[in-house]
Amino acid sequence: MMKNTLKRMLAVMAAVLAVLQLNAQPGVFLSRPQTSPHGRTLTMEETILGHDLFPESYRTVWRPGTHGLTSFEDGALRVKNALEGTDTEILPAEKIETVTGNDGAVFSRWLNRDLAVFTGIAAEAASVQSEYYYIVDVESGTLKAKFSLAPEARNLVLNPAGWHVYTKGKSLYFCDNFGNEYPLAVSENGDITYGQYVSRNEFGIAGGIFLSPSGKKTAFYRKDDSAVGTFPLLDINSRTGTLVSIKYPMAGMASENVRLGVYDFASGKTVYLSCDDFGHDQYLAGVTWTPDDSHILVHVLDRSQKHMRLNLYDAADGAFVRTVLTEDNDRFVEPQDQVWFVKGRTDEFIYRTDNRDGYRNLYLCTLDGKVRRLTETDADVAYTANDGRKVYYTSAEVSPVENHFFSVDIRSGKTERLTSAEGWHNIDVSPDCRYFTDNYSSLTVPGIADLCSISGGKKVNLLTAADPLADFICPEIVLGKVRSADGAYDNYYRLVKPADFDPEKKYPVIVYVYGGPHSQLVQNTWLGATARWEMYMAQRGYLVYVQDNRGTLNRGADFEKAIYGQCGQAEMADQMEGVRMLMSLDYVDKDRIGVHGWSYGGFMTISLVTNYPDVFKVAVAGGPVIDWKWYEVMYGERYMGHPDANPEGYAKTSLIAKAGNLKGKLLICQGAVDDVVVWQHSLSFVRECVRQNVQVDYFPYPCARHNVLGRDRIHLMDKVTMYFDDWL
């Protein structure tokens, strides 16, 4: 009896001590303790290329129009419905081989409920291999199409109606089910591009081909770069080196001209939409067909990105029909999505914006301009699906570092939360909206995949992932909050503590920073989204600190747009609040603080080390933006405005004038053929350091683009690590 009482007392004391230790650091709300110190440490190769060190995930695809989960196992196509207890082999391996004539054909995707796409390599000659596409009717078990494309074909969009669209070079083509090729739009010269992404992938643009719902027509982008300036990239692979010029529209300079064409496969005719609201300088995004193929909706945005019109066009002749709604903002409007039509309706759709109520919410709209808010939450949401009665979405309303699944009734507005477990949920809803797969993780949960009914009646576990780092030393990871510099927000951070952490010792700190738009580095996911390199450095005795700041994602419009006109200023102020919190901790060595980041993070790194030269001893910046006037027009002018309209902002944020402030050690790394942040940035900063007689270290990666990838990245991160080891 006394023995049990003593055990309970010790357990209570241990719990109290754990709480006291947790609260000793400001803002801590979650902590994952270090695993056994007897595990092994990561190698750099494992850190960069160790794909098996991520938790196992459950990968399936829904069969269109059903709630069957498709898997391709042992060469056979299967459909599973765990909730109903069925697991059906709908195409045996032998049948697939017989129908396709290829013993290596693998399942690729569904075209519709009955048509499955398989791909396989076939030998055309002794030295030639081609990838073939096989379209199989799974109900009849017959081959409906077989074709291959030329090696230079890209951006393939498969069409259930039989006309498959793709690009070759700068031109657009289509082929029939037998591979017979036909030109759709042929480039007139090197400045004209058809069927590819425009606006450098901004505004959510990922491609340039937009099939109609029936597949009988397709819309496509036509991009004219003739007015855009060029930038030379050095290719050292030729005998004497070659300059390769790329079209690069810089802030304040001439931009591309974009049009939207519509091609009718039956008539062979093309019309262009009359998108001329803002003349040459405009952006066309969010291209969406109406369900009946008759009309197209387009977000038309002016160059300043302060004014947007959602316009309706007639797909038959390209004529402008009406402006359905408008958005205006004195900072910027940023359409990121298409619109989603309500199932069973051709005149009612769902629209997402952060410009009306301060957060990215969903709105129910009609083609004649009626708008009603659907999601009544002060949090950013993302559309998932709808069944005509309810809209399904994920939201940050539980916490900005968690992602949960909800539904809202279209007519009554009643909402329901459909996930409860702590963490970040990735949702995939069945086409009939009866079921969903829920893949989630949290700081201490590697990964769980459940198959759930929307009604909540039943849930089946599909996967519970094992800890892939069980054999490694996994340092303690803390998630916490620190107040923003303006006092209006909590900014979330993670702190990875050194292996065998001892609070009586003092440790060097590496602040890893990105801090730019569209990013969220801190989430309640497995290990708090800790990158392997952060763990690698913690195993080597460093504290690693990562914090999101104003300007980043998932916190509402005012939080994101606080950076407008002065990129880096609010972000630095918020990062410094985190650094001051760190410096208040007894185990932080205030004289050994370093900072590292890439791209926007490289800009932030050099901003911090030159604006706070007495705080940061060592910095490593990769692919850094140095002056926003050298960055591309779509992104640069959104956040900084036009250089002529904001000369003070461009001058204040330029790092050229800050070069003379540098006191600590700075290493800059960059790909020499970077076509995102061109070489002019970092070389200009180095040139200014030479003028100021300020020492700076520089390491180019001769054949790398913006992101140094593959085995080159092992060398890069070894370089970064060695720099901190040598100087921090």
Q: What is the DSSP string of 144-184?
A: EEEEE--TTEEEEE--TTS-EEEEETTEEEEE-TT--EEEE
Confidence (pLDDT) at 141: 94
Position 22 pLDDT exceeds 50: no
Confidence (pLDDT) at 79: 93
Position 17 pLDDT exceeds 50: no
Strand partners, 263: 218, 270
Position 462 pLDDT exceeds 70: yes
Q: Which residue type, as a one-letter code, is found at position 196?
A: Q
Average pLDDT, the chain: 94
Residue 599: active-site member:
yes
Question: pLDDT tier at 7 (50, 70, 90 boundaries)?
Answer: very low
Marked catalytic residue, from 453, 706, 712, 725: 706
Confidence (pLDDT) at 405: 98
Pairing relationship of beta strands 665-671 and 697-701 according to DSSP bridges: parallel
Position 20 pLDDT exceeds 50: no
Marked catalytic residue, from 599, 607, 654, 682: 599
Residue 644: active-site member:
no
Confidence (pLDDT) at 321: 98
For 601-635, the pLDDT digits (tens) are 999 999 999 999 999 999 999 999 999 999 999 99
CA contacts within 13 A on the Cβ side of 505: 12
Position 1 pLDDT exceeds 60: no
Position 229 pLDDT exceeds 70: yes
Confidence (pLDDT) at 24: 55
DSSP-H helix ranges across 174-313 = none
Position 73 pLDDT exceeds 50: yes
For 492-531, the pLDDT digits (tens) are 999 999 999 999 999 999 999 999 999 999 999 999 999 9
Closest CA to 521 of 540, 543, 493, 496: 493
Confidence (pLDDT) at 127: 59
Rounded distance between C-alpha atoms, residue 465 and residue 445, angstroms: 8
Confidence (pLDDT) at 58: 86
Percent of the chain past pLDDT 70, that is, above it, reads 96
Rounded distance between C-alpha atoms, residue 187 and residue 83, angstroms: 52
For 331-350, the pLDDT digits (tens) are 999 999 999 999 999 999 99
Per-position b or e across 470-488, b if 16+ CB within 10 A of its CB: eebbbbbbbbbbbbbbeee
For 154-199, the pLDDT digits (tens) are 999 999 999 999 999 999 999 999 999 999 999 999 999 999 999 9
Position 16 pLDDT exceeds 50: no
For 190-224, the pLDDT digits (tens) are 999 999 999 999 999 999 999 999 999 999 999 99
Confidence (pLDDT) at 125: 57
Same fold for the pair 339-466 and 475-727: no
| pTM of the entire predicted model | 0.94
Rounded distance between C-alpha atoms, residue 652 and residue 647, angstroms: 9
Question: pLDDT tier at 81 (50, 70, 90 boundaries)?
Answer: confident
Cα–Cα separations (whole angstroms), residue 389 to 343, 409, 428, 434 = 8, 6, 18, 12
Question: Residue 206 burial by CB count (10 A; 0-12/13-18/19+): exposed, middle or buried?
Answer: exposed
Rounded distance between C-alpha atoms, residue 450 and residue 405, angstroms: 13
Confidence (pLDDT) at 10: 42
From edge to edge, which strands make up the β-sheet containing 307-314? 282-289, 295-302, 307-314, 320-328
DSSP-H helix ranges across 540-599 = 557-561, 569-583
Confidence (pLDDT) at 190: 95
Marked catalytic residue, from 380, 387, 574, 674: 674
Q: 3-class DSSP state for residue 557?
A: helix
Say if CB 220 and CB 208 are below 8 A apart.
Answer: yes
Residue 674: active-site member:
yes
- The token duo for 218 is 């397709």
Report whether CATH 2.120.10.30 matches the domain 339-466: yes
Q: What is the DSSP string of 687-713?
A: HHHHHTT---EEEEETT--SS--THHH
Q: What share of the chain is helix, strand, coil (3-state, %, to 5)?
A: 20, 40, 45
Report whether CATH 3.30.565.10 matches the domain 475-727: no
Rounded distance between C-alpha atoms, residue 214 and residue 696, angstroms: 59
Confidence (pLDDT) at 126: 55
Looking up tokens 């001439």, which residue turns up?
254
Closest CA to 421 of 399, 389, 388: 399
Give domain limits for the chain.
57-148, 189-333, 339-466, 475-727
Rounded distance between C-alpha atoms, residue 159 and residue 162, angstroms: 5
Rounded distance between C-alpha atoms, residue 392 and residue 58, angstroms: 21
Rounded distance between C-alpha atoms, residue 429 and residue 434, angstroms: 8
For 714-727, the pLDDT digits (tens) are 999 999 999 999 99
Cα–Cα separations (whole angstroms), residue 50 to 47, 358, 451, 535 = 6, 41, 29, 13
Question: pLDDT tier at 11 (50, 70, 90 boundaries)?
Answer: very low
